[in-house]
């Protein structure tokens, strides 16, 4: 038996997953939206912002332990500086912080290094990733 769906029917919902029509979403570590006229905002509570800031600063201190080339270390330090500048704002934009930290992780991977091997970096990186909704596979 074929199930028929109404076309142009508005679907509204709250927290969790809300879907209309034929929707199937596989593995996902962050927000996903499919369709037109969609906006998403990620927010973090004040206590989590403080924890995020603390872990970003801790991670920044350990960058030299990665043993990167001067060029890669410079790129990472620049991304971290911009990310930390954003978190210190009165109303930080979480997507900018997430983008900056993901850039750091990407540069580390492109340099052939892993954060997993350095426990001083892994713990704060794991906390940062969790708070920002970044998959731990990137670490």
pLDDT digits (tens, 9 = 90+) for 4-14: 555 555 454 45
Give residue-wise pLDDT tens across range 103-121. Answer: 999 999 999 998 987 888 9
Asked if residue 108 belongs to a domain, the reply is: yes
Domain that holds residue 121: 46-138
The pLDDT of residue 1 is 46
Asked if residue 83 belongs to a domain, the reply is: yes
Cα 45 to the center of its chain, rounded Å: 15
The pLDDT of residue 136 is 85
CB atoms within 10 A of CB 16: 5
74: DSSP letter? H
Number of domains in the chain: 1
Asked if residue 7 belongs to a domain, the reply is: no
- Is the pLDDT assigned to residue 2 strictly greater than 50? no
**CB contact at 8 A, 66 and 108:** yes
What's the CA gap between 56 and 84, in Å, rounded?
A: 7
């Amino acid at each position: 038996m074929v199930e028929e769906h109404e076309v142009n029917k508005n679907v509204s919902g709250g927290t969790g997953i809300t879907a209309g029509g034929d929707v199937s979403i596989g593995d996902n570590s962050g927000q996903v939206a499919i369709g037109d006229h969609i906006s998403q905002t990620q927010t973090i509570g004040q206590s989590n912002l403080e924890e995020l800031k603390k872990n970003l600063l801790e991670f920044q201190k350990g960058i030299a332990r990665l043993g990167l080339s001067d060029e890669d270390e410079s790129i990472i330090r620049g991304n971290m500086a911009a990310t930390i500048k954003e978190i210190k704002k009165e109303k930080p934009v979480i997507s900018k912080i997430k983008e900056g930290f993901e850039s750091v992780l990407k540069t580390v991977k492109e340099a052939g290094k892993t954060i997993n091997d350095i426990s001083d970096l892994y713990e704060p990186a794991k906390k940062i990733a969790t708070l920002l909704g970044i998959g731990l596979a990137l670490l």
